[in-house]
A and B are shown apart, each in its own frame.
Chain A
Amino acid sequence: GESVGLHLPTLSVQEGDNSIINCAYSNSASDYFIWYKQESGKGPQFIIDIRSNMDKRQGQRVTVLLNKTVKHLSLQIAATQPGDSAVYFCAENMDSSYKLIFGSGTRLLVRP
């Protein structure tokens, strides 16, 4: 089902450290997943995606891991920078439909 969070969980990391943001998705039939980054006052920005036939995908400084057994998705950011400070949303898509279901988001704060 759809999740709506009342309070955003926050992850605070030191600049230069690696960040791991977690997401529990709701539907075992979901076959496509996306991570979005949303900076204050802006719309969500696509970061990376992964299909259910994969368990890992790497981009530039980011890696997405998918564990279908426990319906868990994570986003790893290497060498976190101040510009990475934002709210991060995972989204799932079922049966190649058009409707993305968004998680409630995690706020990442990077300490200088």
Chain B
Amino acid sequence: GDSVTQMEGPVTLSEEAFLTINCTYTATGYPSLFWYVQYPGEGLQLLLKATKADDKGSNKGFEATYRKETTSFHLEKGSVQVSDSAVYFCALPNNNAGNMLTFGGGTRLMVKP
């Protein structure tokens, strides 16, 4: 079945450091790919998305490129802020199961001033 694998956290960075959170997937066909973010005590919010190979999703300084050849969708940000501290989830819809989102295990990011 479809699955998503993320690097385990926590990832601890200093403010203004470069961020990469790896995400790889296994799926039938070429599904849309998503990154969701969960701030402390809140629900999940869509951070960015890509619908086809080579698409680059971007939002709030974060970027991720849909790489069909490596089945990856790594999240990057050039300069993190303390306010970026959260848990990040990579996800894809399972088209064989009502488009339910399958999530990776989540990666906690902690940014220190």
On whether the two chains bind one another, the answer is no
Chain B interface (Cβ within 8 Å of chain A)? Answer: none
